């Protein structure tokens, strides 16, 4: 664990680097740096009842009315429109496309027989991308395991899912690994335990009062840690399989993805600085510490106590070093205040164990759009550089939230991208081992925390058009010009965090 002196050095170094490049082009990035965009299976494919796909936990959740009656049954139908979408990617100038494979489409029962129609679809998509010079970056799990496994043994609450996930990964490597060179096992395994098992905002909608609402079952005190533990073990098992069986002949790389908050101490007090490190321990550290050091952060072990499972010596050895890169999703910045009183609660959940209070822009009362604070991106990348040995990093998601009804002239998204891409360049110049940047999302899709009202896409999709017509937004034109060599000059100052700040819970950031 870093002591207070080292923590202060981290923040002083970061403070010296907190600015956003005022002028840059893609030529300023290192050779081989990847620019892309992404989506995920349930959010973009549609075809929920087509060609042998079985229900995922997301189908069950959405059809139970948890998303206000909206579902991903059709979404934007990339299952049938992938060629059209790849053409748009070419026009935009993408180097790469990040997408996920649907486990319930590939192996409908969760284990056992493989669906040949799914093999055909993903082969077609991968081949279409490669034939147009676009790299496929594939995530194997993006919150959507088969409902059959949830019904049988409780999904991520059971160790049985480790074997089933590894077998699913084996099919992915075997069928697609000759062309897929970038594999990500899990999307945001540090967020899933909170939103799915603590506050119950996502399927399988488990929580317990007073920590979550509208859940019929769950335990917010213990289940988030149990799910995170099994997610880590499943990742390590799949990564070990890839490295032992496939990597030497397929020449690819494998990693995991985490959500990265841009955390800063509210004040320069020792308490708030240490609270900021604790916030990082509970978020990124919960997943990345075992990957780098073989065990959970000491602070997490101390505050969670017996509710946090422990690794055996063998498991620790398997997990440690089980990655070639770390994927990072980043959107927002938060200020951290020490809150030791939460540790005095008789019953605590994951959030109370952190003993912090998050302070930042009151998103509920301000603009729907995210504040533009590129210093948060640099804070995340500096954290990985200083604390976790500067591993190879791919920014897998970064983007601006708008409402679907907003115009195609999404100037706020352009300003956001301009600021954050510039901040990535500055982080690289400051020594970060960042190797790629992907916008979220390529299209307006079914958002997991906003349905069809919330949009992040470069391309608008007309949901009232039977053909689901795609139209480029201003951000798509801007990104295309940047990717094709235009030099970006910032004539406007970077928007900073407003002064109206207030406290909120972690889950508030995702709403």
Q: How far apart are CA 484 and CA 486, in angstroms?
A: 6
Alpha carbon distance, N-terminus to C-terminus of the chain: 32
Residue the block writes with tokens 């308490």: 271
Condensed to tens digits (0 to 9), the pLDDT of residues 438-466 reads: 999 999 999 999 999 999 999 999 999 99
Looking from the CA of 203 toward its CB, the CA atoms found within 13 Å total 26
Strand 488-489 and strand 23-24: pairing? antiparallel
Whether 315 sits among the annotated catalytic residues: the reply is no
Q: Which of 216-225, 322-331, 500-509 has the lowest mean pLDDT?
A: 500-509
Nearest to 372 by CA among 393, 403, 402, 407: 402
pLDDT for res 214? 85
Contact 260, 284 (CB under 8 A): yes
Alpha helices in 48-115 (DSSP H): 57-63, 78-92, 103-106
Condensed to tens digits (0 to 9), the pLDDT of residues 393-451 reads: 999 999 999 998 888 999 999 999 999 999 999 999 999 999 999 999 999 999 999 99
* C-beta atoms surrounding 388 within 10 Å: 17
Strand 356-361 and strand 333-338: pairing? antiparallel
Contact 434, 395 (CB under 8 A): yes
Q: How far apart are CA 509 and CA 511, in angstroms?
A: 6
- Given the residues 45, 223, 382, 397, select the one marked as catalytic: 397
pLDDT band at 368 (very low <50, low <70, confident <90, very high): confident
Kindly report each contact of residues 297-304 with a partner whose C-beta sits within 8 Å and lies 24 or more positions away, as own/partner.
Answer: 297/1, 298/1, 299/1, 300/353, 303/343, 303/353, 303/354, 303/355, 304/225, 304/350, 304/353
- Given the residues 45, 128, 175, 188, select the one marked as catalytic: 188
Find the mean pLDDT for residues 467-492. 91
Residue 495 has pLDDT above 90, yes or no: no
Looking from the CA of 355 toward its CB, the CA atoms found within 13 Å total 19
pLDDT band at 507 (very low <50, low <70, confident <90, very high): very low
Whether 346 sits among the annotated catalytic residues: the reply is no
Cα dist from 18 to 5, 11, 270, 394, 497, whole Å: 20, 10, 21, 20, 13
Contact 180, 171 (CB under 8 A): no
Residue 14 has pLDDT above 70, yes or no: no
Q: What is the mean pLDDT of the chain?
A: 91
User: ∠125-126-129 over CA atoms, to 5°?
Assistant: 85
pLDDT band at 491 (very low <50, low <70, confident <90, very high): low
Using a 10 angstrom Cβ sphere, with 0-12 exposed, 13-18 middle and 19 or more buried, the burial of residue 23 is exposed
Q: How far apart are CA 92 and CA 223, in angstroms?
A: 42
């Amino acid at each position: 664990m870093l002591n207070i002196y080292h923590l202060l050095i981290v923040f002083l170094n970061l403070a010296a680097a907190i600015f956003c490049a005022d002028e840059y082009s893609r030529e300023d990035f290192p050779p081989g740096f990847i620019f892309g965009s992404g989506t995920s299976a349930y959010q973009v494919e549609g075809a929920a009842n087509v060609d042998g796909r079985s229900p995922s936990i997301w189908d069950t959740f959405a059809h139970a009315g948890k998303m206000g009656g909206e579902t991903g049954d059709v979404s934007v139908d990339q299952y049938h429109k992938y060629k059209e979408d790849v053409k748009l990617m070419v026009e935009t100038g993408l180097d790469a496309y990040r997408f996920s494979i649907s486990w319930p489409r590939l192996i409908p029962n969760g284990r056992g027989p493989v669906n040949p129609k799914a093999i055909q679809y993903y082969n077609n998509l991968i081949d279409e991308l490669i034939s147009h010079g676009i790299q496929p970056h594939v995530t194997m799990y993006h919150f959507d395991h088969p409902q059959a496994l949830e019904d049988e043994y409780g999904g991520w609450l059971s160790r049985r899912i480790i074997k089933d996930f590894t077998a699913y990964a084996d099919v992915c490597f075997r069928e697609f690994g000759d062309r897929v060179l970038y594999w990500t096992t899990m999307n945001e395994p540090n967020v899933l335990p909170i939103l799915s098992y603590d506050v119950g905002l996502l399927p399988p909608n488990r929580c317990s009062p007073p920590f979550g609402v509208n859940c019929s079952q769950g335990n917010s005190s213990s289940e988030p840690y149990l799910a995170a533990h099994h997610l880590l073990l499943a990742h390590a098992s799949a990564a070990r399989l890839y490295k032992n069986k496939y990597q030497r002949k397929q020449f690819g790389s494998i990693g995991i993805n985490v959500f990265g908050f841009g955390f800063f101490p509210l004040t320069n007090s020792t308490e708030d600085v240490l609270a900021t490190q604790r916030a990082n321990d509970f978020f990124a550290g919960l997943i990345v510490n075992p990957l780098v050091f073989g065990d959970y952060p000491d602070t997490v072990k101390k505050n969670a106590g017996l509710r946090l499972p422990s690794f055996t010596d063998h498991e620790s050895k398997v997990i440690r070093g089980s990655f070639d890169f770390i994927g990072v999703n980043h959107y927002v910045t938060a200020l951290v205040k020490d809150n030791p009183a939460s540790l005095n609660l008789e019953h605590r959940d994951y959030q109370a164990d952190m003993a912090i209070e998050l302070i930042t822009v009151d998103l509920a009362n301000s603009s729907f759009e995210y504040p533009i604070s590129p210093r948060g991106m640099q804070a995340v990348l500096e954290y990985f550089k200083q604390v976790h040995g500067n591993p190879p990093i791919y920014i897998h998601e970064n983007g601006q939230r708008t409402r679907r009804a907003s115009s195609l002239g999404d100037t706020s998204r352009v300003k956001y991208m301009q600021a954050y891409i510039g901040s990535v360049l500055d982080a690289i110049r400051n020594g970060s081992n960042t190797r790629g940047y992907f916008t979220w999302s390529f299209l307006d899709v079914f958002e997991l925390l906003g349905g069809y009202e919330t949009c992040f896409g470069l391309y608008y999709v007309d949901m009232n058009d039977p053909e689901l017509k795609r139209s480029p937004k201003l951000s798509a034109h801007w990104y295309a010009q940047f990717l094709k060599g235009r030099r970006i000059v910032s004539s406007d100052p970077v928007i900073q965090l407003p002064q109206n700040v207030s406290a909120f819970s972690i889950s508030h950031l995702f709403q």
